[in-house]
Structure 1
Amino acid sequence: MSLLIKGGTVVTADQTMRADVYCADGRIAAVGEALDVPAGAEVIDAGGALVMPGGIDPHTHMQLPFMGTVTSEDFESGTAAALAGGTTSIIDFVIPDPQQPLMDAFRTWRGWAEKSVADYGFHVAVTWWDDSVHADMGTLVRDEGVNSFKHFMAYKGAIMAPDEVLVRSFERALELGAMPTVHAENGELVWTLQQKIKERGFTGPEGHPLSRPPEVEGEAANRAIRIAQVLGVPIYIVHVSCKESLEAITRARLEGQRVFGEVLAGHLVVDDSVYRHPDWDTAAAYVMSPPFRSKEHQAALWKGLQSGNLQTTATDHCCFCADQKRMGLGDFTKIPNGTAGVEDRMAVLWHHGVNAGRMTPSEFVAATSANAAKIFNIYPRKGAITPGADADLVVWDPKASRTISAKTHHQKIDFNIFEGMTVEGSAAVTVSAGEVVWKNGSLDVRTGRGRYVKRPNFSPMFEALGKLAARTAPTPVDRKLPTAAE
């Protein structure tokens, strides 16, 4: 099976050049002009279009059991929607119940994901601690290709990891060469504010952002970053939504700490006025954590992305339909948290980033694929257009215009947080593992064609950090100890 993408402009995180791309056996075989390719190769005319690495969404939740229900999107429908938008790989989350062995949960998620139509990997959440968790983390890194572990600092009484768990898990991650990732919200403060706000009579979706102000996110982000600093381990902060978290990340990076930040497409363009919509269902559809913020925070997040203090873009794709959201009628704390976006992330970021002059095309590639591939150690297999890389590509039409709507999207949800937004720039053709899976507005996929992508650990980086820590550690003082008589 071979494919020639001809006549386009190749855009990577490093360069832009006129080149054809030849793919064979699921990999990129050659990049250049006037390529000598075998007869019979399928040809895609990319004239007037850009050829970029397929997107990587490093934060999705397909088929997630959460808050008394299960997300409406499974791995098959979710990865298909991703392909329609130009995203060719996702990193989802295994989230064990408290006291559930990590390996048991991992096997369950692997089974669910076997029907994926695009490539996928997993972060694994640490929601509790004992010796078995310590052992399972080792098995996941060594045998299963997991190099990142998630920690929820929110959701008290469910999956919240207290500081003791963070410390133990961060230490173990450092030993294994794995990356701790954190959902930063102070769970104790959120719970307290939820009770106070309900007592004041706020029971609808408008109570959600009131109970999760920017300060509770900023405090948790700073705390997690400082714990990582003391232990000497890199850290990745997911869905940064406010100035306070960004400031904590920026300060730590300026101090030389290895901290990475992720921002959601939704947090860049949707503001908190949505929670005051007069229609309950519409307002509830936007309930996610952290919540959407004011335009002031949006402006800061764009600057964070432009400055490089935020490196990746994601969606936190976690779909709940209207009937599921209504579980929280009369009590906003029971509205399942989550919104969609895996299909629209690339177009929204191109339109509001590149078209608005906030990003160059190469910076767009970095933020939508290459940086995630580098941070999670699958570059240049993913996120690059170079011989030997996976043939995951998107032929991007920068002039194509469409209006985003739940009526036309492929996501398995009855609402779209970008509803009515007209964007210029979209995926004309998506190629996954060398196969054309999206073309002319139509998907051509088969159940289970997606591959599980193992991600090696970060031994060289972590060895360097260990050497640095050894160089900066103080020398013990040799002093005389007092005797009992003294």
Structure 2
Amino acid sequence: MRTLIVNGLVVTPTGEIRADLLIEQGKIAGILTPGGQLPAADELIDASGLIVMPGTIDAHTHFTAAHDFPELELREGTQGAAAHGVTTIIEMPHSLPPVTTVDSFLARREMLASSCCVDFALWAGLDGNNVSQLAKMQQAGAIAFKAFLCSDSADGAASDEKGLPRLNDDSLLRAMRELACFNGLIGVHAENHDILIGASRELRAAGRSDNRAIALAGPEIAETEAVGRVLHFARQTGVRTHIVHVSSAEAVRMITAARPAARVTCETCPHYLLLDVEDLVRIGANTRCSPPLRPRPVVNALWQRVHSGEIDLLASDHYPCTPAQKQTGQHGIWDAVKGLTGVETLGPLFFSEGHIRRALPLAEVARMTARGPAQVFQLWPQKGAIALGADADLALYDPQANWTVSGEKFHGLGKWSAFDGIRCRGNVVRTLIRGITVFRAGEMQVAPGFGQFLTRTGYSPVLSGG
């Protein structure tokens, strides 16, 4: 099938251009100068007044961790992803059971294959006891391996049956050495466990259950110390290292300074760029996340790192628990589930805040939401850009569309948002994955199971558990 997209403003890695796109067999087959003779096509899409962006790759989602209906959440939640320009998700290993063995990885892969409306890749998890499984999970298609340096439990155990335990320094170093043997990627939740436990214990002992106590229980120094330690291990082992959900501009500075001696990348999230600790105080449970929201000067400094190009990618850290799960219990906000919904707001919020309000070039928006994650997770050049030969994963934005975030309108069970009430400009009106329209005119065009499994470009996974 051949498709033509005409009259749009196309965002390529080098900038925005007026161009027509020819799509053939799911790939970008031509980037054509407008006004010329158009080739024959089976489908013509008029993108007049629209901006044609590469589809968003959300490298940090937790669809299967938030509740007991993972298939339902994957079906409905990835519909919401597609409706807002996300064409690929990379799902974290939190599930029942956590993905720490080849068997659990293969079971999770089958679940997503039958449920996802968008393309998908999978993280595996590190639990301190599964070093012998890592190469096998990589062979089965694991795109990266998640490590936690902290836990809500003082003894470092997993906070719940779907989670991962804290890795001590010995386990972390051993895992990094093993992953370096086959050029694997480790993703690290970098906060100092002892600092977090000590701060939380002191605040609870003082009877603090107010919203601001959550911010005080996760001081920035816990993040920067852990990042520094990870960078040292990364330099010593040579392993590809990715620091997830960075909330601290100082941590980004440290990561930037460590390059190229360490092969390290980092991500941040929209909530660390749009919200601050005063929003946490005002809103409460719906803004509880880890690391916590930071003071406004830290947020402003983080934006400076965005504008300087030091942050590799933007991810949602989507955690679609139900509104009831987010409600506080007898111990106030300490009982609120950590994590924010975000896959439906990831691209449009960044388009509105980053490009419209803060004049971030469209090519930079595309780098952080598409090319950056594709390169970090080695999906490039199949994914991540509007370029010849790449998959035709596209999000068509109406830059004049005005809308207000309303979590109750989200797909899936996570019908709430920390961004409720934020007014935005620019929204997705059509999404294509591999040249096929999956969303348009407010309606899904494909069924669950449409999404394809992805792994490192040029790497062929074993497709059975034999």
TM-score (norm 1): 0.86
Q: Is the 8 A contact 2:59 2:91 kept in 1?
A: yes
Residues 110 and 98 (structure 1 numbering): CA distance in 2 closer, same or farther, change over 3 Å?
Answer: closer
Equivalence for 1:38: 40
1:45-56 aligned at under 5 Å gives the runs 45-56=46-57
User: Where does residue 29 of structure 1 map in the other structure?
Assistant: 29
Question: Which residue of structure 1 aligns with residue 464 of structure 2?
Answer: none
Distance 1:408 1:227 in 2: 44
Quote the residue 2:133 is aligned against.
136
Partner of 2:231: 225
1:203 and 2:209 matched: yes
**Deviations, residues 182-216 of structure 1 (Å, cap 9, x unaligned):** 10111222122222111111135433222111111
In the alignment, the residues of structure 2 paired with residue 449 and residue 35 of structure 1 have an alpha-carbon distance, to the nearest angstrom, of 34
Aligned letter for 1:406? G
Equivalent AA in structure 1 for residue 141 of structure 2: G
The one-letter code of the counterpart of 2:208 is: F
Distance across 1 between alignment mates of 2:324 and 2:209: 18
Change (3 A) 1:384 1:261: same
1:145 alignment partner, one of 138, 141, 144: 141
Task: Give the TM-score taking structure 2 as reference length.
Answer: 0.90
Instruction: After TM superposition, give the deviation of residue 411 of structure 1 in Å.
Output: 4.9
Partner-residue secondary structure (3-state), 2:304: helix
Which of the residues 263, 274, 279 maps onto 2:279?
A: 274
* Distance in 2 separating the partners of 1:102 and 1:452: 18
Aligned length: 446
Residues 118, 452 of structure 2: 8 Å contact kept: yes
Matched-pair contact (CA < 8 Å) for 1:343–1:411: no
* Map of 2:16 onto structure 1: 16
Q: 2:257 matched to which residue of 1? A: 251
2 CA distance for matches of 1:86 and 1:98? 30
Shift of residue 387 of structure 1? Answer: 2.8
- Tell whether 2:87 aligns with 1:85: no
Question: 1:147-186 maps to which residues of 2 (within 5 A)?
Answer: 147-155=143-151, 156-158=156-158, 159-186=165-192
Letter of the aligned partner of 1:147 in structure 2? Answer: I
* Correspondence for 2:463: none
Matched-pair contact (CA < 8 Å) for 1:179–1:235? yes
Aligned counterparts of 1:24 and 1:97: Cα–Cα separation in 2: 40
Amino acid corresponding to residue 295 of structure 1 in structure 2: R
- Decide whether the 8 Å contact of 2:273 with 2:302 is kept in 1: yes
Unaligned runs of 5+ in 2: 159-164, 460-466
Matched residues in 2 for 1:165 and 1:127: separation? 8
Per-residue deviation, 1:229:
1.0
1:97 to 1:118, Cα distance in 2 relative to 1, 3 A: closer
Query: 1:387 and 1:99 mapped to 2: Cα distance?
Result: 38
CA contact 2:13–2:386 (8 Å) conserved in 1: no
CA distance in 2, matches of 1:318, 1:99: 15
TM superposition shift of 1:97: 7.8
SS at match of 2:198: helix
Distance 1:100 1:355, change over 3 A: closer
**Counterparts of 1:455 and 1:153, CA distance in 2:** 26
Question: How far apart are the structure 1 equivalents of 2:226 and 2:69?
Answer: 27
How large is the RMSD of aligned CA atoms in angstroms?
Answer: 2.3
Q: Do the aligned residues in 1 keep the contact of 2:100 with 2:124 (CA within 8 Å)? A: no
- CA–CA separation in structure 2 for the residues paired with 1:111 and 1:419: 34
Q: Distance in 2 between matches of 1:37 and 1:153?
A: 55
Check whether the contact 2:66–2:319 (CA below 8 A) recurs between aligned residues.
Answer: no
Contact persistence 1:26–1:435 (CA under 8 A): yes
Shifted more, 400-409 versus 343-352: the winner is 400-409
3-state SS, counterpart of residue 357 of structure 2: coil
SS of structure 1 residue aligned to 2:432: strand
Write the distance in 1 (CA, Å) between the matches of 2:77 and 2:66.
15
Q: Cα gap change, 1:357/1:101 in structure 2, threshold over 3 Å: closer, same or farther? A: closer
* In structure 2, distance between residues paired with 1:207 and 1:105: 37
* Cα drift, residue 75 of structure 1: 1.6
Distance 1:97 1:182, change over 3 A: farther
Point out the structure with max Rg over C-alpha: 1
Label 1:75 to 1:355 Cα distance change in 2 as closer, same or farther (>3 A).
Answer: same
Query: Is 1:239 paired with 2:240?
Result: no
The answer as to whether partners of 1:287 and 1:337 remain within 8 angstroms in 2 is: yes
Question: Are residues 265 and 201 of structure 1, via their aligned partners in 2, closer, same or farther at CA, if it must alter by over 3 Å?
Answer: same
Larger mean CA deviation between 11-20 and 51-60 belongs to 11-20
Alpha carbons 1:96, 1:127 under 8 Å: kept = no
What letter is aligned with 1:454? T
Separation (CA, whole Å) in 1 of partners of 2:170 and 2:332: 31
Which residue does the alignment assign to 1:187? 193
Q: Is the 8 A contact 1:9 1:50 kept in 2?
A: yes
8 Å CA contact retained: 2:409, 2:415: no
Distance 2:175 2:295 in 1: 34
Shift of 1:391: 1.4
- Paired residue for 1:471? none
